[in-house]
Amino acid sequence: MRQKQTAVVISQREIAPDIYDMWLETALAREAGPGQFLGIYPKDKSTLLPRPISICEINEQIGALRLVYRVAGAGTREFCGYEAGDSVSILGVLGNGFPLEQGMGKKVFLMGGGIGVPPILELAKRLEGDKQIILGYRDQKLFLKDDLKQNGRVYVATEDGTVGTRGNVMDAIRENGLEAEVIFACGPMPMLRAIKAYAAKKGIPAYISLEEHMACGVGACLGCVVKTKEIDGHSHVHNARICTEGPVFEAAEVEI
Amino acid sequence: MNTEVKIAGVSFKNPVMTASGTFGSGVEYSEFVDLDKLGAVVTKGVANVPWPGNPTPRVAEVYGGMLNAIGLQNPGIDVFMERDIPFLKKYDTKIIVNVCGKTVEDYVEVVERLGEEPAVAMLEINVSCPNVKEGAIAFGQRVDALSSITAQIKKHARQPIIMKLSPNVTDIAEMAKAAEAAGADALSLINTITGMKIDIHRRKFAIANKTGGMSGPAIKPIAVRMVYQAAQAVKIPIIGMGGIATGEDAVEFLLAGASAVSVGAMNFVNPYATVEVLEGIRSYMEKYHVENVTDLIGAVEG
């Protein structure tokens, strides 16, 4: 059941310019799965809405969630100042998460681009199969690559070519001659569009995690919709709620 | 302590309701709050046919509030009657259905369908959504248009009708009087205030619709002022809303002249806001030895 709770910051550090890595102690860790997200509430009352932040890693033993996020505005700017012991209001666990069963025992691509890399980590940890992890970054300031290396073969693309393939994750697939039976991905929209087209051409399923501006996070406000091929179950108008029916969709089912 | 209020002959166990569009049909927030505790659930606007709504982005945060331009995405009256009404009927709360349309005929079609359902206590007529091109606010910004649609809907409505007024007008008292004269049983105000936000880094509108309706705590003083002005102008009851976050906020609206209050955008900020507002009203009544919540209605002095 989704709820608003108080979590406690265990640790926080900057792992790349403006990219922060924060562990939170919360009972919600035991309900969370890869690809789901939390709403994090800023304390400053001029910034009211919960910030949707994906779950990077889950530690069920100690009841902790790892969030790796980019400072993008006033809310995340506030979050990056939190220190161990600080309390933080969270809403969760939100969203559907990645369908692990679709990848079990298969040859898979796990693809993350930029701030879309974090949710790939817990997915890579839980998924059992032939895992090819393809990561896209702007430049040599990589993050989470070492964590991911422990969970599969990692291929890197950088826009400026300083590490790995010059270009994007699709270029990395081509350059390394990689093939897969199923794709899981999170990243910027141009990357997800390219993956959708690639998956359609290859005739394989791709599970992509989408992002949109949100207000409530629980499916009430209808702010964060994506156009769908079929009639959606809620409003019956080809507009699914990313926070509730998503954020993970089969690429063929959404018009992006 | 008595928290019961009456609006147009309908009795509510307490004056706390949900503002249309912020609470769906109650399903999502029923995970967080016991709907039995609410005076009423006011549903998201429903039209005669499904409406897809506006392109995204549909929401943006602003200082102390937010803008939205959802565009009244809704599944239409058929799905609403089959799915949402049976859900709400399971709870001991009053059902108020918000009705939207592009033409008077659209509104009348929905109003007539809802007339078949005795579980619906009242109808709230949305003539104030700023985010759709046809209908809605077009009916709520001119006295003659508001009078005309109010009178026509009243003719077909089985339940008492609440006209939901827009703050995007020159004289709210004049609009309130026009709705009352045309047969409205109650008024609700305020709907959102039209606003705009520009992302200066991308040089783009923050919302695809360019303009959006502003809600949240930042608009509360405007809402209190308009509720007061409307209450001074009419005898029919008023449901007040606009940035209500706490019981104290709600009491302010009651003192200004509202008979009930709705919690809107603050549901997004605090999913427990509705019940906390009710608890806050009770604490206030206890502190100031107020026996009946109705004693607070319009009780501002001076």
Following DSSP, what letter does each residue of A52-105 receive, concatenated? EEE--EEETTTTEEEEEEE--SHHHHHHTT--TT-EEEEEEEES----GGGTTT
pLDDT computed for residue A225 by the predictor:
97
> Is there a catalytic annotation at residue B100?
no
pLDDT reported for residue B127:
93
Measure the CA–CA gap between A194 and A186, rounded to whole angstroms. 12
Question: With an 8 Å Cβ cutoff, are B73 and A91 in contact?
Answer: no
**Same domain flag for A211 and A130:** yes
pLDDT per residue as tens digits for the range A68-106:
999 999 999 999 999 999 999 999 999 999 999 999 999
Interface of A with B (CB under 8 A): 1-4, 41, 45-50, 91, 212-226, 234-239, 244
- B131 pLDDT tier (thresholds 50, 70, 90): confident
Q: Which of B218, B181, B162 is nearest to B40 (CA)?
A: B162
d(CA A223, CA A241): 8
pLDDT at B129 over 90: no
Between B60, B216, B268, which is nearest A213 by CB? B60
Report how far residue B86's alpha carbon sits from residue A18's, in angstroms, rounded to the nearest whole number: 49
User: Tens digit of pLDDT for each residue in B152-194?
Assistant: 999 999 999 999 999 999 999 999 999 999 999 999 999 999 9
Q: Are residues A115 and A242 in the same domain?
A: yes
Q: Which of A77, A93, A109 is the last residue of a domain?
A: A93
Query: Domain check: are A203 and A137 in the same one?
Result: yes
* A236, A241, A254, best to mutate vs chain B, most B CBs in 10 Å: A236
Would the pLDDT of B262 be above 90?
yes
- Token pair, residue A249, equals 């969709």
What mean pLDDT is reported for chain B?
A: 96
- Residue A178, domain extent: 100-255
Residue A243 to chain B, least CA–CA distance (Å): 12
What pLDDT shows up at residue B302? 82
List pLDDT tens digits, range A19-37. 999 999 999 999 999 999 9
**Is residue A106 domain-shared with residue A60, that is, in the same domain?**
no
How confident is the model over B31-60, as a mean pLDDT?
97
Residues A82 and A191 occupy one common structural domain: no
Point out the catalytic residue in the list B42, B95, B129, B146.
B129
Q: Does B264 contact chain A (CB < 8 Å)?
A: no
CB B146 within 8 A of CB B127: yes
- pLDDT score for A33: 97
Residue B230 confidence (pLDDT): 98
Domain match, A225 and A135 both: yes
Q: How far is A36 from chain B (nearest CA, A)?
A: 17
**For residue A1, what pLDDT band results from cuts at 50, 70 and 90?**
confident
Q: Which of A4, A237, A244 sits opposite B272 (nearest CB)?
A: A4
Give the confidence band of A114 by pLDDT, cuts at 50, 70, 90: very high
Provide the edge-to-edge strand list for the sheet that holds B211-215. B59-62, B65-68, B211-215, B193-196
Q: Considering its fold, how many domains does chain A have in total?
A: 2
Domain-wise residue ranges, chain B:
5-296
Q: What is the mean pLDDT of chain A?
A: 97
CATH assignment at residue A113: 3.40.50.80
3-state secondary structure of A195: helix
Average the pLDDT over B117-143 and give the result.
88
Assign B133 a pLDDT band (cuts: 50, 70, 90). Answer: confident
The average pLDDT across B269-283 equals 98
CA distance B230 to B113: 30
Domain final position from A38, A73, A93: A93
Among the three residues A76, A93, A110, which one is the final residue of a domain in this structure?
A: A93
**Contacts B44 to A, Cβ<8 Å:** 222
Q: With pLDDT > 90 as the criterion, what percentage of chain A qualifies?
A: 99
Q: Give A48→chain B minimum CA distance, Å.
A: 6
Same-domain check for residues A52 and A106: no
Asked if A30 and A64 sit in the same domain, the reply is: yes
pLDDT recorded at residue B188: 98
Same domain flag for A87 and A108: no
A123 and A227 together in one domain? yes
Indicate which CATH number applies to the domain containing A77: 2.40.30.10
ipTM, 2 dp: 0.95
Specify whether A120 is located in the same domain as A85: no
Supply the pTM of this predicted model: 0.96
Give me the pLDDT at residue B187, please.
Answer: 98
C-beta pairs of B139-148 under 8 Å, 24+ apart in sequence = B140/B164, B140/B165, B140/B166, B140/B169, B140/B175, B140/B191, B141/B166, B141/B168, B141/B169, B143/B174, B143/B175, B143/B178, B146/B175, B146/B178, B146/B179, B146/B182, B147/B178, B147/B179, B147/B181, B147/B182, B148/B104, B148/B182
Looking at the fold, whether A122 and A164 belong to one and the same domain comes out as yes
On whether the CB atoms of residues A208 and A96 are closer than 8 A, the answer is no
In CATH, B5-296 is 3.30.56.10: no
pLDDT tens by residue, B240-251: 999 999 999 999
What local confidence, expressed as pLDDT, does residue B128 receive? 86
